[in-house]
Amino acid sequence: MLVNITYRVGWGAANPRSKKQMNEPAKRVVIHHTAIRSGATPQDCIHQVTRIQKMHMKDRDFDDIGYNFLVAQNGMPYEGRGWGIVGAHTKGHNQDSVGIAVMGNFNSNEFLFMVLYYDLPTSAALSSVKRLLLDGVSGGWLHSNYAIFGHRDLANTECPGDKLYPEIQRLRSDRD
């Protein structure tokens, strides 16, 4: 294992209402952003992950948090649904993909209290995503010839934001 993951028990995840196993290793990875500020401390990050799970389960009526993994700006990955479980991150594209959300808002035109803000993806977060992908392949959860997409490649959305989307091409290039 190349990356130290905070598993569900470590962030206090609620039990899923149900879960569906993937039939084979995922062939695609879909990169998202959470569109909310990333926490500065481990406690802040855990609060954000639990908040996202509650929102997904209550407001969107998902069976669990939608993403397979979330990665904080400090590089700490959090297990969402985990490997081998069908997510709810990209409608119509979940059966053969893994959803990884980088925590933060990477849109370029967001206003918070009349102040323009956005996050830039950190090298720690991007390095953690790369290590997650390597772990997925070595563990047999991710096909060795997987394709990487931004959420916007598969849906009508700005996700993963203009500041994170260019990094997807770098993730693709790093595999070659």
- Would you say 3 and 43 are in contact if contact means Cβ atoms under 8 Å apart? no
- 77 domain-assigned: yes
Range 21-40 average pLDDT: 92
DSSP 31: E
Domain that holds residue 91: 24-175
- 169 domain-assigned: yes
Written as six digits, the tokens of 175 are 């595999």
Written as six digits, the tokens of 46 are 């855990």
- 5 domain-assigned: no
Q: pLDDT tens across 33-92, in order?
A: 998 877 778 899 999 999 999 999 999 999 999 999 999 999 999 999 999 999 999 999
- Single pTM value for the model: 0.93
Query: How many domains are contained in the chain?
Result: 1
- 35 domain-assigned: yes
- 19 domain-assigned: no
- 141 domain-assigned: yes
CATH of the domain at 57: 3.40.80.10
Q: What is the pLDDT of residue 120?
A: 82
DSSP 108: S
- 1 domain-assigned: no
Evaluate the omega torsion of the peptide bond into residue 160 and state whether it is cis, within 30 degrees of 0. Answer: yes
- 12 domain-assigned: no
The enclosing H or E element of 30 equals strand 26-33
Q: pLDDT tens across 113-142, in order?
A: 444 455 788 999 999 999 999 999 999 999
The enclosing H or E element of 57 equals helix 42-58
